[in-house]
Amino acid sequence: MSERLQPGDVAPAFTLPDADGHQVSLSDHKGRKVIVYFYPAALTPGCTKQACDFTDNLDLLAGAGYDVIGISPDTPEKLGKFREKESLKVTLLADPDKKTLDAYGAFGEKKNYGKTYLGVIRSTIVVDEDGKVAHAFYNVRATGHVAKIIKDLGI
């Protein structure tokens, strides 16, 4: 379990497959601001709500200079089904070995109904044009989170 990122930290580099199996790297977005969000599982109610909220606000975010990338431990195949079923437009990346999730502090101990277990910590990291962390939000709620990010970023 790694440390949580703080504003000013260098965002960990990653290269992961998207829903079509193409490799996507954080460095592909150099010179742009990137919202990287981590979610537990495609095709689940909360994660669907969050992905649809990002898709619904993608034009607004892109207009303000932000790219959006969603990362989960799902396979590219499952991400493809998720994208098709929900008509998602955000870039979805697969991290089945959880190395990127761990590097961003988005995988670790969670508590649910009194039980402690390891899992994905719903998190959003905003990376600036220079590859540094501008904002780090951990343990976020799926519902209303995108609206909060838009407000926090002053968009």
Q: Which of 11, 36, 42, 47 is catalytic?
A: 47
Catalytic: 47? yes
3-state per-residue secondary structure call for the chain: CCCCCCCCCECCCCEEEECCCCEEEHHHHCCCEEEEEECCCCCCHHHHHHHHHHHHCHHHHHHCCEEEEEEECCCHHHHHHHHHHHCCCCEEEECCCCHHHHHCCCEEEEEECCEEEEEECCEEEEECCCCEEEEEEECCCCCCHHHHHHHHCCC
Residues annotated catalytic, as ranges = 47
